[in-house]
Structure 1
Amino acid sequence: MAGGGSRDGERDAIIAALGPVVEGLVATFGPMCEVVLHDYRRPEASVVAVAGAVTGRVVGAAMSEIGLRVLAGGDEAADDLNYVTRTVGGKMVKSSTMVLRDSGGTVFGALCVNVDITEVAKVQSLLGALAGPAAAPAETPVTTFEHDIDSVVDVLVDTHLPARDGTWSDLDRPRRLDLFRTLDARGVFAVRRSVEQVATRLGISRASAYSYLAQARAGGAEGERGPG
């Protein structure tokens, strides 16, 4: 079996081989297309190549919440194809995230294709209105693309602790555990130092955050430990 060093060399070779593909895809599909190559071995700076300018991604930027979900899936993560999200700036983006694996099946990165379909969506909406009444479209989820991983984690915490729930101190125990369970499922805690960051964001101790995470992963069977 190949050792860790050999596998890293293999992963480096895959990343290097895909670099020209990034540029080639955008050259083929034009300015409405963006292709981003991620190396998940460095979640804080996972973007190693980018062409196009749909989401504003730059080399050296952190993975998005989409990448965190891939990390949460581990080696069982699957490709996520043709999903639609909305940027904070209002762009409608159709995307595909294709995971990269080494010969041992370990997920270590992703090739992401983003297509700006904002104008297409407007035309579709107009045609739908002309055709007559229709069911209200489902709300498109918003994805925040930040350049640093701390901002991505902060956005996820804020998103899953909505204003109607108030502050951490306003949450009862089941909702506190549900918050940690949700953040864990989104891959937040796959990032180094993220538990400490979440604790700071919620205004609780690091020990308390680790305790809630352990309880959430165990199904919440344990009693609360440590200060909130």
Structure 2
Amino acid sequence: MESREAERDAILRALAPVVDGIAATFGPLCEAVLHDYRRPETSVVAVAGSVTGRTVGGAMSEIGLRVLARGDEAHDELNYVTRTSTGRRVKSSTMVLRDSAGAVFGALCVNVDVTEIDRVQGLLAALAGTGAEASPAPVTTFGDDIDSVVDALLDDHLRRQDQTWPGLDRTRRLALFRGLDERGVFAVRRAVEQVAARLGISRASAYHYLAQARDTPADATEGARP
């Protein structure tokens, strides 16, 4: 096990200069971030560029939590588009890192701010009379504080349920906990306590709902999802 950890550390050290090279090659609109998924709350081990404002020692994003939840079944996610909380449109790629046994332990992420590019394309399309607005990209929380990422995921689930916690029946409550679990929230330390506090329930109740959600077949709560 120690040799496996040493191997992972060596891979991360080898990739750290690559982060600087990517950002330098593609200029100020590009950001490269190297993540160590063994520590979700402080996963950022190297960063270059400033698209999402990440810093070394910062937490993984919602996307990272989703990859973490998939474990060794995770795969690269390339050229997807999201929006930051400030409205910037970002094209990203997340490339998972595996050790020699095939286990996922981190990721190399590249983020490119395409806000101005989209604006110019829209202007040119309008002038040519062929304009069509780009489809809205989902908002993603990028932050160095893992608590803000967990809060954003919880708020998103409640918003899609169009209910507060007291207004949800048991099926929808289980669906909420299942959804959070599938998005990797409970891989974070203290996440159960944080979710319990936000919902106004006891920690014991939160653990109970989580256990029930994991034991309930997915199709039993599927109808409760908006």
- Shift of residue 132 of structure 1? 3.6
| Matching of residue 119 in structure 1 with residue 116 in structure 2 | yes
Question: What amino acid does structure 2 have at the position aligned with 1:38?
Answer: H
Larger mean Cα displacement after TM superposition, 125-134 or 135-144: 125-134
In the TM superposition, 1:1-228 aligns within 5 A as 4-132=1-129, 137-162=134-159, 165-219=162-216
The normalised TM-score by structure 2 is 0.91
Name the CA distance, whole Å, in 1 between partners of 2:45 and 2:39.
Answer: 10
* Distance 1:135-1:212 versus aligned 2 partners, 3 A rule: farther
User: Is the CA contact 2:122–2:131 (under 8 Å) kept in the aligned structure 1?
Assistant: no
Name the CA distance, whole Å, in 2 between partners of 1:134 and 1:196.
Answer: 48
Question: What amino acid does structure 1 have at the position aligned with 2:5?
Answer: D
Name the CA distance, whole Å, in 2 between partners of 1:73 and 1:6.
Answer: 24
RMSD: 1.8
Aligned to 1:160, the other structure's residue is in SS state helix
Name the CA distance, whole Å, in 2 between partners of 1:17 and 1:152.
Answer: 28
Question: What amino acid does structure 1 have at the position aligned with 2:28?
Answer: P
- Shift of residue 62 of structure 1? 0.5
Output one character per residue of 1:120-168: Cα deviation in whole Å (capped at 9) or x when no partner.
1112222333344666542210011111111111111111111873421
**Structure 2: unaligned runs, 5 residues or longer:** 221-226
* Distance 1:154-1:123 versus aligned 2 partners, 3 A rule: same
Q: Percent identity?
A: 73
**Structure 1: unaligned runs, 5 residues or longer:** 223-228
Aligned to 2:204, the other structure's residue is in SS state helix
Question: What amino acid does structure 1 have at the position aligned with 2:93?
Answer: S
